[in-house]
Amino acid sequence: MNRILLLLAVLFSAGALNAQIYSAADSAAFASWMTYDLDGDGNNWTAVTINNPQITAPGFDGTSGYLSNSWSGATQLPLTPDNVGVSPAIDCSNQSSVFLSWRCGSPETTASGWYEENYAMYVLLPSDLGGLQTGNWPAPVFETTLSAGEQFFDEQVDISSIAANQPVVYVAIRHYNCTDENWLLVDFINVTSNSVATIDETELSTISAYPNPVNDILNITSSEEVTSVSIISLDGKIISTTNLNGKNISIDLTDLISGVYLYEVKTSMGISRNTFVKK
Confidence (pLDDT) at 194: 59
Q: Is residue 226 within 8 Å of residue 244, measured between CB atoms?
A: yes
Q: Taking the CB of residue 49, how many other CB atoms lie within 10 A of it?
A: 10
Of the candidates 175, 260, 190, 246, the one whose C-alpha atom is nearest the C-alpha of residue 4 is 260
Confidence (pLDDT) at 235: 60
Confidence (pLDDT) at 211: 86
Q: Taking the CB of residue 123, how many other CB atoms lie within 10 A of it?
A: 26
Domains of the chain: 2-193 (2.60.120.200), 201-278 (2.60.40.3080)
Confidence (pLDDT) at 266: 84
pLDDT tens, position by position, for the chain (279 residues)?
333 333 333 333 333 345 778 988 878 889 899 999 999 999 999 988 765 544 545 445 556 789 999 999 889 999 999 999 999 999 999 899 999 999 899 878 888 999 999 999 999 999 999 888 888 999 999 999 999 988 888 888 999 999 999 999 999 999 999 999 998 999 889 898 853 333 333 343 367 788 878 889 999 988 888 888 989 876 667 889 888 888 899 999 999 988 878 788 888 767 777 778 888
